[in-house]
Amino acid sequence: MAWSVTVDRDRCIGSGMCIVYAPGTFAHDAEAKAVVLDPSTDDLAAVRTAVEGCPTGALQLTEEGE
C-alpha cells in the first residue's frame, strides 16, 4: 500500500507528538513547526498513530491501495 503524509503548517503548534510517535518521519524546523523528513523510516502504524495524536489535526495521512 502506498501512502504519504503532509503537514498543515498553519495548524501546527509544535506540540511534538508526531516526533514522539514517528521520530524518523517528523522533526521540528527553526520555527518549531513539524516537517516531514523520511516517511519510509517509520512503519505505517507509527505514522498513523502520530497523525491521530496531533492535537490540532495538522497532519494528514493519505493511503492509496495498490
Domains of the chain: 2-64 (3.30.70.20)
Mean pLDDT of 36-64: 95
Mean pLDDT of 20-41: 96
SS (H, E, C) 2-49: EEEEEECCCCCCCCCHHHHHCCCCEEECCCCCEEECCHHHCCHHHHHH
Cell 495521512, located at residue: 61
Q: DSSP state, 51?
A: H
Q: What is the pTM of this model?
A: 0.90
pLDDT, residue 64, reads 86
C-alpha to C-alpha distance for 66 and 57, rounded to whole angstroms: 26
pLDDT, residue 47, reads 97
Alpha-carbon torsion (64, 22, 46, 11), positive or negative: negative
pLDDT, residue 41, reads 93
Query: Which amino acid is present at 9?
Result: R
